[in-house]
Structure 1
């Protein structure tokens, strides 16, 4: 099973919206493949989108799933692991945490299965971190905890071809648990300097680059995984997201994007093992701002390709989906998915 992770150390980069569209486009174009989605984010926005969006009671459907016994979410699984942090309990069943979004949202391809997100992750975070720092002779407690998601996926690795994981912007313990199983990393950025800093932070947090002191190196995510001969996720795509048609080569925004290109080019030369691509242009894709088209898509939990242009009713308001703009969005997502 090939695992893609969508993550950036900065919120608001369009990570979840891109992940949602990528999942739907990929599943639609690959009907013979079984797709697993894991929402490792306490906001659970990706789960709400897949279950129908705000306009189609996606939030209510998610609450119902969170109220099931056992709780059919990533938080429900972690809840079962808290009393048994170092070995997976024999009673854990993978199917207990699986939801089929197409059963409640006709717009989602039927080959997609979801492990829903859960606000419990925030409550569980301190307890999980404490367990990971426990000293037990002969046991690497941190590694055992980091493997929680891997343990779950191993129960059904032969059932799925590709997995998509939506990660929280923080680098908390549940984000590290998620990133530890990722093969290919998708990093969304926007045309602002904070996105450039976030990219630099991402490489520091995941790969241990340019840490301020050697003191931090021994505790770094990369150091601890490598000590156990584990592979790190490889950067597969950097998506320049929410680009507008007004950005030109002379604009300040374009200058920021070029500086991100330059930063990545330097890392590609110095640390090629961190990337799945060797040519800079192969690792970038530009996505225009979804604008009204995106608002409608996410309010209704609908992939862009399934949206009908024209006048629509969204949350009691009439909006217009421009056919040409929508087609441009579909082409942009096709370009992204073609690189997966």
Structure 2
């Protein structure tokens, strides 16, 4: 089983909408596979999308799942681990936390299951960090805590073929818990200087590259995970997301994107072991800005291939989805999913 994560420590890169569309497209192309999506983000936007989006009361349906006993979310699972942080309780059942989104949103492929996100993650973060930093003879507390998600999904390896994790744009303890369970990392970026810096920051945070001092290296995520004999996720793809159709080769946007490509090429040459591709072109994918088409799909919790062109009602407003633009969006997602 392969576990992918969509993550960038910079917000606003379109990570969640890209993750949602990727999961739906992948599931459509692999109807005989069982797929699990895990929303490790306190905003829980991925969950709301899967449950119907803004227009179809996705938030209300998410609240319903948060109100079950036990709470059918990743926060509900973490809640069961707080009293038992260093070994999973014997009574733990992953099925208690899994939702079938197709039952709430028929536009979503029936072969996708979901562990919903939860705002509780922010409230739990301080307690989890404290538990991870405890000094316990004979126990590596940090490793035991960052293994929480691995503990949950390990028994599911025979049940699912592929998993996708949507991570929070941070490097908080729950993000580290998510990334430690991942095989392959998808990094969405945008055509701006902050995205270029975010790429550099991401490689520092996950792989300990270019840290300002050896002091930081001692406590780095990469150091602690590799010392425990665990593998780091490999960068599988960098998605240049939300590209404008008006971007010409001489534009400032294009210059920034070229610089990102150059930066990735240098890292690939100096640290090939952290990548899941051998040349830059095979690891990069361009995603044109979805514009109105993406807004409508997001509002409706709808995969782009299911979205109808024409005039549509979105929260009482008439919005036009142009078929040409919709097909461009579908083509872009097909290119991305072909690399998974």
Q: TM-score, normalised by structure 2?
A: 1.00
Name the counterpart of 2:81: 81
Equivalent-residue separation in structure 2 for 1:95 and 1:168 (angstroms) = 23
Give 3-state SS (helix, strand or coil) of 1:123's partner: helix
Give 3-state SS (helix, strand or coil) of 1:306's partner: coil
Offset of 1:155 from its aligned partner? 2.1
Equivalent-residue separation in structure 1 for 2:169 and 2:298 (angstroms) = 20
Offset of 1:46 from its aligned partner? 0.1
Name the counterpart of 1:54: 54
Name the counterpart of 1:120: 120
Name the counterpart of 2:314: 314
Equivalent-residue separation in structure 2 for 1:304 and 1:256 (angstroms) = 28
Offset of 1:154 from its aligned partner? 1.1
Name the counterpart of 2:206: 206
Equivalent-residue separation in structure 2 for 1:134 and 1:256 (angstroms) = 43
Equivalent-residue separation in structure 1 for 2:295 and 2:269 (angstroms) = 39
Name the counterpart of 1:186: 186
Q: What are the Cα deviations for residues 187-217 of structure 1, in whole angstroms up to 9, with x where unaligned?
A: 0000000000000000000000000111011
Give 3-state SS (helix, strand or coil) of 2:219's partner: coil
Equivalent-residue separation in structure 2 for 1:288 and 1:129 (angstroms) = 38
Equivalent-residue separation in structure 2 for 1:247 and 1:79 (angstroms) = 47
Equivalent-residue separation in structure 2 for 1:81 and 1:323 (angstroms) = 48
Give 3-state SS (helix, strand or coil) of 1:236's partner: strand
Q: What are the Cα deviations for residues 14-33 of structure 1, in whole angstroms up to 9, with x where unaligned?
A: 00000000000000110000
Name the counterpart of 1:275: 275
Offset of 1:282 from its aligned partner? 0.2
Name the counterpart of 1:28: 28
Q: What are the Cα deviations for residues 47-106 of structure 1, in whole angstroms up to 9, with x where unaligned?
A: 000000000010000000001000000000000000000010011101000000000101
Give 3-state SS (helix, strand or coil) of 2:8's partner: coil
Name the counterpart of 1:301: 301
Name the counterpart of 1:169: 169
Equivalent-residue separation in structure 1 for 2:104 and 2:202 (angstroms) = 36
Name the counterpart of 1:289: 289
Q: TM-score, normalised by structure 1?
A: 1.00
Two-structure CA RMSD over aligned residues (Å)? 0.4
Name the counterpart of 2:251: 251
Equivalent-residue separation in structure 2 for 1:211 and 1:195 (angstroms) = 18
Give 3-state SS (helix, strand or coil) of 2:200's partner: helix
Name the counterpart of 2:232: 232
For these two proteins, the number of residue pairs brought into alignment is: 340
Structure 1, gaps ≥5 residues long: none
Q: Does residue 13 in structure 1 map to residue 13 in structure 2?
A: yes
Structure 2, gaps ≥5 residues long: none
Give the 4+ runs in structure 1 shifted more than 4 A.
Answer: none
Give 3-state SS (helix, strand or coil) of 2:177's partner: helix
Offset of 1:229 from its aligned partner? 1.1
Equivalent-residue separation in structure 2 for 1:264 and 1:295 (angstroms) = 30
Q: What are the Cα deviations for residues 233-286 of structure 1, in whole angstroms up to 9, with x where unaligned?
A: 000110000001111110011000000001000000000001010111000000
